[in-house]
């Protein structure tokens, strides 16, 4: 500083150095590569599982309720009332937060519809229906540590696989 004024800068010192520009471009290129890879991965998932959960929230709601029921399940009876266990029907006995058990029937027999019916002491206590969903199927999926696992698959209108998830019951106190 000369008499309170800043010292004049030498000519040519304004702007960025070549090293600063190269580092900035390398960082920008790295971020661009990461964004491109994530976009490609998301597009791959969209092609493999074409259900848009944001446009069809009923699918997500059905899967989350089904996951919770399987987690809480203790038994898969072969029949309940007029229902029989099969690829379009899942029957299970689940432990409720109150500690009591409840018979739950997941009915996938009507195309584009999912029905969940809960029974306590032979009486229906609740019924929940989701419309506009793909065609669901239930399959056994035995895993060594979890022999009661359930595989849920859903197919869209073109026959493409839309949902493929495996649910496992949790271990309950003996």
Domain chopping of the chain, boundaries: 16-48, 57-167
CA distance 13 to 151: 67
Residue 49, judged by CB atoms within 10 A of its CB (0-12, 13-18, 19+), counts as middle
Sign of CA dihedral 51, 53, 59, 64: positive
Q: 119-158, pLDDT tens digit by residue?
A: 988 889 999 999 888 889 998 777 776 677 889 998 887 8
Q: 42-96, pLDDT tens digit by residue?
A: 888 777 665 555 556 788 888 889 999 988 888 889 999 889 999 999 999 988 8
Please provide the average confidence, as pLDDT, over all residues in the chain.
83
CA distance 163 to 142: 19
Single pTM value for the model: 0.66
Distances (CA, A) of 95 to 17, 61, 161, 171: 68, 20, 31, 11
Per this entry, what is the length of the chain? 174
């Amino acid at each position: 500083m000369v008499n309170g004024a800043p010292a004049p800068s030498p000519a040519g010192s304004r702007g960025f150095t070549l090293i600063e520009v190269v580092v900035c471009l390398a960082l920008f290129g790295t971020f661009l590569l990461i964004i491109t890879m994530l976009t490609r991965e998301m597009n791959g998932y969209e092609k493999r599982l074409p259900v848009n959960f944001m446009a069809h929230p009923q699918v997500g709601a059905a899967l989350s309720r089904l996951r919770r029921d399987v987690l809480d399940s203790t038994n898969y009876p072969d029949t309940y009332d007029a229902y029989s266990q099969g690829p379009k029907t899942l029957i299970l006995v689940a432990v409720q937060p109150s500690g009591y058990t409840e018979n739950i029937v997941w009915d996938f027999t009507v195309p584009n519809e999912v029905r969940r019916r809960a029974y306590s002491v032979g009486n229906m206590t609740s019924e929940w229906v989701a419309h506009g969903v793909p065609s669901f199927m239930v399959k056994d999926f035995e895993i060594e540590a979890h022999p009661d696992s359930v595989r849920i698959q859903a197919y869209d209108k073109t026959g493409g696989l839309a949902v493929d998830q495996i649910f496992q019951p949790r271990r309950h106190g003996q």
